[in-house]
Structure 1
Amino acid sequence: MADSSITIAKDYDLICVGAGIMSATLAVMAKLFDPNMKILILERLDDVALESSAAWNNAGTGHSALCELNYCPQENGKVSIEKAKDICNQFEVSKQFWSYLVSQGLIEKPEDFIQNVPHHSWVYGEDNVDYLKQRYEAMKTHFMFDTIEYTDRLEKMKEWFPLIANGRSSEEKIAASRIERGTEVNYGNLTRQLFSILETEFNTKVQTHHEVLDIDPDDGVEWSVIAKDLETNQKKYYDAQHVFIGAGGGSLLLLQKVEIDEKEGYGGFPVSGEWLVCNNEEVINQHYAKVYSKAGPDDPPMSTPHLDTRFINGKRELLFGPFAGFSPKFLKEGSMFDLFKSIKLDNISPMLGAFWHNLPLTKYLIEQLAMSHEDRMDDLRKFYKDAKSEDWEIKVAGQRVQIIKKNEFESGELQFGTEVVSSKDGSITCLLGASPGASTATHVMLNVLDKAFPEILNSEKGKQLRKEIVPTWNVEVTEELFREQLKISEEKLKL
């Protein structure tokens, strides 16, 4: 074994920690704007896209607010679609980026990672039916959602998703909406394609088996990234002008080692996921849809049940879930001590406050952990009445670390979105959180580029290239612009 004291020093413009969809998007985008930028990607595991970006470890939905009801909250009896518009445009920005890569010949077969699968919302119960009708009325007046359809007719639902509609009575209080242009995305395949572009077109290869141990300031200008080569046991030191921490659930533990004030008060709560996966081809072939419903009144947004068509490893699949589990690990391949190592003096109060104010979440997790296979099947049968237990098996998904942060009262809030934590000068950025995550990677990473390399992104050349790559990012989106870019994306991505 080599001497572990051996060090190697190299200078980079950007170091990305973690080889998932976020780092892949950031690195490709950075190279498009500046092909001469020196970039290093460090990954602890033996390949890319093995954690949150892996197909089995996420929902695979192109999150665009077409079917996810939590993006349209109801307040004082009125449904708001403001968040839905933001999420929708952010996903369209991702599609524009991928379309640009297709147009440049950098991606040859977009069908390997993206498919057209209609998005539906489906609810039962009088109050939920009233809500869905209000949501439909609000959405159909806006150009981003004006192709939405709504029905409370059982026969129409049998056309849309027969597995759910068959065997039901026309007397049941149920309703559904549908937007045809929904997508299913294999983010694992996409991530691998992006890293292939980096290697073949820009001579930038991922350094696997490299675990980042620490990130220290270097002369107040650069950062020194200390990594361990897990194959040789060598410690290596890399200097970088900018560092991006995109290590999924592991990002928080690394952020806590960075000497910036902005990290103060952040904590994390790990939640694992599980899916029921169908093993009966006849059943799988009867459903071609993503169907989202409403979470229970005391359940977190991440618990929103959905029955989804997926394409994984070249095979059509059918999944139902998610079901929550608990592990103190922050990554699927993490340590059982991750949660305990994350507790610091500056985040004890926020974490205790978040726990106290989220007792229903604790109750929900305990109930989920106690579920048997038949309990899960009973939940599925609320969707698909004739589901047979022998046709479904459980599959463990990835780990997610929900953000805990201080609020204005110095207590703690549990958040279910994503957040970029950045130093004042933008020289180091860290992505925390989960959903909608991968779907909005392009939007999020453009914001990171804007913080880290404003001189590149906002130069005259950068502005022009930005218009070509992501026409609706950071501009007022008109109906004409939206429709024009939607048509281009659908053609380029073969949707």
Structure 2
Amino acid sequence: MGGRTPPARMHVPRSQEMSALTLNANLPSRKPAADPNRITTDVLLVGAGVMSATLGALIRSLEPDWSVTVLERLEGPALESSDPWNNAGTGHSALCELNYTPRLPDGSVDVSKALVVNEQFQLSRQFWAHGVDHGMLHDPSSFINAVPHVSFVRGAENAEYLRLRHDALAGNPLFEGIEYVDDRDEFARRLPLMAEGRPEDETVALNWSQNGTDVDFGALTGQLLAHLADRGADIRYGHDVKSLRKNTDGTWKVKVRDRVRGGTLNISARFVFVGAGGGALHLLQRSGIDEVKGFAGFPVSGQFLRCVDEDVTARHEAKVYGMAAVGAPPMSVPHLDTRVIDGQRSLLFGPYAGWTPKFLKNGSFTDLPRSMRIDNLGPMAGVGLTSAPLVKYLVLELLKNQHRKIDELSVFAPIVEASDWELITAGQRVQVVRKKGWGGGLEFGTTVISAADGSIAGLLGASPGASTAVAAMLDVLERCFPGRIDGWRPQLKEIVPSYGVALQENPSLLADLRSWTDTSLGLV
């Protein structure tokens, strides 16, 4: 770090080591299965997205002797939420997302959520840098690239909010270097595509963070899963989990349909993680664990305008986030993003929300009704009664035609040629509905659900999602392996050195880690 390589792996006393046979001391030892349609595994990861890939890589580093099986219903990895075209790929670190820094009634700006998200993203950067240094990941430019993160507002009142936001963040080492820009010439120099054709009397302001990133979570996921396969993990695509049942010995019996060759596979797993994106709620409900009762999901689809014309993309190099319309949900924040996917630069603008009852892009129109249970009817009804602004927003979004979508783009880029942009369908988001009192509330974020005995866990929700996968999976390890986490801690500190540390309170460590991760990830 700071030009130095991370410290060498610390020795873990033999008494603290956990083999596959001691994953659960109450379980009998594994025996090789004679029937190829019946297998036993220590760790079963459902879904081949960034969450499962991250957890699998962490577990493989901590316990190389444990058997790991990955199941994915589609024909390859990262084809749903982790696909680079199915999300904005911002590398959410709260540098520019204004919904993480709301203005309070007294006029001040609440930055607490931004600090949490930024700390979590630092863990992801460290994990990826460690992966590059140790051969788990290769060619970091294939999955992460430096792109400034920018907040953008119009009007004097909003400019004052952005100045207050800058003042609230600038003194924190996590946001070191953030700038407030309201000079029109400087605005035009940094964002020429957004400046051209803009009225001269319009007040504009920016918060500019030079050290932002663009992340291709599809490429990242593919590399992590390839590493797992090289280390002996059993990865099976075209395999659809149909049921999960708890055995009397504490293991899980998982029935799987082979969608390619036909037939059924029965898996006995000691630990199950459900990282199936929008499909996670259904699977957790099928498991019957008490902890998922009262949870529901509200699906929202999305679209973006995409431009790959090099003359246009060359004039905008930033991820620029604006303000959500009054009454619109946080997920509606408009943004004009530079993307780097498969080495090609492009621009995305959106999102334009839509609605479908599907929980996955490749899901079924029965997904929403099949998720309804007696225990979550109240929460869903409560959301229906209290979320009128969301319903209104979705209705208005559905009524927008292509012309109106281009008009919204022109707020960011006043002079645009509609022919340069195409409309693409992004992934499905399933927002968490959680029971609150007699009713429920709609939550915008990610939620880890785990059984009391730690034998199964899953992830619900959306943004910041993939960007904070490492923090979420460390949470899973802490919840599900409380008797082992202390023994793993020294090794986890090698992989993510700020684990358990508040970087905003340790600026010198933060500086060292930034230097290390920037160098390893090719961001300097």
Instruction: Select 1:453's aligned residue among 481, 502, 523.
Output: 481
Q: Give the C-alpha shift of residue 220 in structure 1.
A: 4.7
CA contact (8 A) 1:34 1:456 kept: no
Asked if residue 203 in structure 1 is aligned to residue 229 in structure 2, the reply is no
Amino acid at match of 1:223: W
CA distance in 2, matches of 1:85, 1:220: 43
Letter in 2 for 1:385: P
Q: Which residue of 2 aligns with 1:25?
A: 54
* Alignment match, 1:138: 168
Q: CA deviation at 1:279?
A: 4.0
1:91 counterpart letter in structure 2: F
Which of residues 152, 155, 172 in structure 1 aligns to 2:185?
A: 155
Corresponding residue for residue 493 of structure 2: 467
Cα RMSD, aligned residues only: 1.2
Code of the aligned partner of 1:438: A
State the AA in 2 paired with 1:238.
I
> Mean Cα displacement is larger for which, 21-30 or 253-262?
253-262
Q: Decide whether the 8 Å contact of 1:457 with 1:466 is kept in 2.
A: no
Q: How many Å separate the matches in 1 of 2:44 and 2:254?
A: 8
Q: Name the SS for the 2:66 alignment partner.
A: coil
Which residue among 362, 381, 396 is the counterpart of 1:367?
Answer: 396
Structure 1 CA distance for aligned equivalents of residues 458 and 144 of structure 2: 27
Q: Structure 1 residue runs of 4+, over 6 Å off?
A: none
After superposition, residues 95-106 of structure 1 pair within 5 angstroms as 95-106=125-136
Equivalent residues in 2 for 1:165-314 (5 A)? 165-200=195-230, 202-314=231-343
Partner of 2:148: 118
User: How many corresponding residue pairs?
Assistant: 486
Paired residues of 1:7 and 1:237 also in contact (CA < 8 A)? no
Conservation of the 8 A alpha-carbon contact between 1:425 and 1:451 = no
Q: In structure 2, what is the Cα distance between the partners aligned to 1:425 and 1:376?
A: 49
- Look up the SS of the partner of 1:66 in the other structure: coil
> Is contact 1:211–1:228 with CA below 8 Å preserved after alignment?
yes
- Partner Cα separation in structure 1 for residue 392 and residue 62 of structure 2: 48
Q: C-alpha separation between the residues in 1 aligned to 2:99 and 2:456?
A: 31
Contact conserved, 2:93 with 2:117, CA < 8 A, in 1? yes
> Please, which of 446, 455, 459 is the counterpart of residue 431 of structure 1?
459
The CA distance in 2 between the partners of 1:232 and 1:163, in whole Å, is 51
In structure 2, which of residues 414, 419, 427 is the aligned counterpart of residue 398 of structure 1?
Answer: 427
CA displacement, residues 401-440 of structure 1 (integer Å, 9 cap, x when unaligned): 0111111x22010111000011112111010000000000
Give unpaired runs (5+ residues) of structure 1. 1-5
User: Does 2:113 match 1:87?
Assistant: no
Task: Give the 3-state SS of the residue equivalent to 1:347 in structure 2.
Answer: helix
Question: Which digits, 9 at most, give the CA deviation of each residue in 1:176-218, with x for residues without a partner?
Answer: 0111110000000000000111111x11131111100111101
Q: What is the CA–CA distance in structure 2 between the aligned matches of 1:235 and 1:319, rounded to whole Å? A: 41
Matching of residue 419 in structure 1 with residue 419 in structure 2: no
Shift of 1:467: 1.5
**Residues 232-268 of structure 1, C-alpha deviation per residue, up to 9 Å, x if partnerless?**
3212211111110110001111111112111111111
**One-letter code aligned to 2:146:** N
Q: Distance in 2 between matches of 1:130 and 1:170?
A: 19
TM-score by length of 2: 0.91
Contact 1:401 1:433 in 2 (8 A): yes
Amino acid at match of 2:372: I
User: Any conservation in 2 of the 1:292–1:305 contact (CA below 8 Å)?
Assistant: yes
Partners of 1:455 and 1:484 lie apart in 2 by 31
Q: Equivalents in 1 of 2:40, 2:480: separation in Å?
A: 16
Contact 1:33 1:456 in 2 (8 A): no
* AA at the equivalent of 1:26: L
Q: Is the 8 A contact 1:266 1:347 kept in 2?
A: yes
Task: Report the CA distance between 1:281 and its aligned residue.
Answer: 2.0
Query: What amino acid does structure 1 have at the position aligned with 2:500?
Result: N
Contact 2:309 / 2:346 at 8 angstroms: preserved in 1?
no
> SS state of the match for residue 352, structure 2?
strand
Q: Is 2:446–2:460's contact at 8 Å kept on the other side of the alignment?
A: yes
Distance in 1, Cα, partners of 2:385 & 2:249: 39
Determine the C-alpha separation between the residues in 1 that align with 2:508 and 2:62: 27
Structure 1 residue identity aligned to 2:157? D
Q: Look up the SS of the partner of 1:257 in the other structure.
A: helix
- Deviation track 1:297-337 (CA, whole Å, cap 9, x = no partner) reads 11111110000110122211111001101111100110111
Taking the aligned partners of 2:199 and 2:267, their CA distance within structure 1 comes to 65
2:70 paired residue number: 41
Find the aligned partners of 1:269 and 1:463 in 2 and give their Cα distance. 37
Cα offset, 1:288, TM superposition: 0.7
Distance 2:502 2:351 in 1: 35
Structure 2 match to 1:3: none
Residues 195, 205 of structure 1: 8 Å contact kept: no
TM-score, reference length from structure 1 = 0.96
Amino acid at match of 1:89: E
Distance 2:134 2:260 in 1: 37
> Is residue 350 from structure 1 mapped to residue 379 from structure 2 by the alignment?
yes
Match of 1:378 in 2: 407
What displacement does 1:223 show?
1.1
Please tell me the residue identity of whatever aligns with 2:262.
N
- Provide the identity percentage: 44
Q: Is the 1:7–1:235 Cα contact (8 Å) retained in structure 2?
A: no
Kindly provide the amino acid, as one letter, of the partner of residue 414 in structure 1. L
SS at match of 2:242: strand
Counterpart code for 1:373: Q
- Which deviates more from structure 2 when the two are superposed, residues 225-234 or residues 31-40? 225-234
* Equivalence for 1:483: 511
8 Å Cα contact 2:335/2:350 also seen in 1: yes
- How does 1:303-342 map onto structure 2 within 5 Å? 303-342=332-371
Match of 2:159 among 122, 129, 151: 129
